[in-house]
Amino acid sequence: MSEQALPLFEVFVRSRRGLDHKHVGSLHAADPEQALQYARDVYTRRGEGVSIWVVRSSDIVASQPADQDSFFEADPEPGLRHAASYKLPDEVDNM
Amino acid sequence: MSGLDQQRSDLLAFTLRLGDDALVLGQRLAEWCSRAPFLEEDLALANTALDFLGRARFLYQYAAEIEGAGRTEDDFAYTRDAGAYRNLLVLELPRGDFAFTMARQFCVDVFDVHYLGALQGSADRRLAAIAGKGLKEAQYHLKRSRAWVLRLGDGTAESRRRLQQALGSLMPYLGELFELDALERRLVDGAVAPDRADLHGSWSAEVGATLEQATVGWPEAPAQPEQRRGGRAGQHTPHLAELLDELQAVTRALPGRTW
């Protein structure tokens, strides 16, 4: 079996203290179940994670560099779109 | 020998047996390091090897305490000859091809899940704790090895042929997993050791079901193949001495060195 023949998967791990899954890398595997096992062995053996997601890299829809300007160009008046002046109530721990 | 001495020497011997089992299989798995079919599997095999090495260390450390003669875990691992090792023969067989490694692992993992599950209830609390940790690892090992058996059996003509060949060469060595000698029988009576023989039924059913699902089944044999045994008495295949040559090479060349 050659590695090139195996599909690529992206791996997301939620760490012990983290609230969300973070992209940690990618790996090759024959199917999603095997990808999950390899993700455990390749990325979480030092106690980094409590939850893993894997997704076929080919299933990710990504923005293209050509769309850079229309997607991401800064708003000339950012103040209206950002909640910078909004005060979080004390009860809200994580935002 | 007084009753208490007998109990202690039985417990020491039993702990060393389990430690030897773990160390020898761990070493066979470690031999795949940098040689596995692809990177992800290489890391997964090395992780499995480390689990067995870790188990061996816990058992040797406990053995050292039971013995109380100043020997350490390293002494047990690095300074004993093949004749002093008490591991089961099936664990010392060369790693073979990937199908053999996975077929053996699967047979052992199914056994370990049952055996360690039972050992968790041991009257010896230290062994029970070591078994508890090992059981979690074994359940994960089994997930992997079972998936590989299914993949190889139901894969290509070549992978199927290799899996069947592996099962054929394993068969004469699997009976030893379920045999007890007088020493282990005494520990069963004392509720320290699980009865291996009791596990044969569920082991057979579970392995058989997976092999059926993998579309291979056990190789057709005219009769039950003659079983090889002797590991618990220190009568090993020549393969163990070769394994230990490599495992112990540094210690033999530079006795007592540390790094």
What does the alpha-carbon distance between residue B174 and residue B227 come to, in Å, rounded to a whole number? 8
CB contact under 8 A, B39 and A3: yes
Amino acid at position B99, single letter: A
Does the CB of B123 have a partner CB in chain A at under 8 Å?
no
What does the alpha-carbon distance between residue B207 and residue B11 come to, in Å, rounded to a whole number? 30
Residues in B closer than 8 angstroms to A45, CB to CB, are: 47
Which pLDDT belongs to residue B115? 98
Interface probe for B, chosen from A26, A33, A37, A44 (most Cβ of B below 10 Å), is A37
What does the alpha-carbon distance between residue A64 and residue A94 come to, in Å, rounded to a whole number? 31
Does the CB of B33 have a partner CB in chain A at under 8 Å?
no
Q: Name the minimum distance, in Å, from the CA of B103 to any CA of chain A.
A: 17
Which pLDDT belongs to residue B246? 96
Q: Name the minimum distance, in Å, from the CA of B46 to any CA of chain A.
A: 9
Q: How many residues make up chain A in this entry?
A: 95
pLDDT per position as a tens digit, B90-106: 999 999 999 999 999 99
Residues in A closer than 8 angstroms to B144, CB to CB, are: 37
What radius of gyration, in Å, describes the C-alpha atoms of chain A?
19
Biggest CA-to-CA distance, chain B: 60
Question: Has residue B229 got a pLDDT over 70?
Answer: yes
Residues 6+ apart with CB under 8 A from B60: B16, B19, B23, B72, B73, B76, B77
CA-nearest of B212, B207, B138, B216 to B178 is: B207
CB contact under 8 A, B38 and A27: no
What does the alpha-carbon distance between residue B189 and residue B168 come to, in Å, rounded to a whole number? 34
Quote the mean pLDDT of chain B: 95
Using CB atoms, which residue from B37, B44, B140 is nearest to A38?
B44
ipTM of the complex: 0.83
Quote the mean pLDDT of chain A: 84
CB A41 within 8 A of CB A49: no
pLDDT per position as a tens digit, A45-68: 777 778 999 999 999 999 888 888
CB contact under 8 A, A34 and B147: yes
What does the alpha-carbon distance between residue B191 and residue B124 come to, in Å, rounded to a whole number? 8
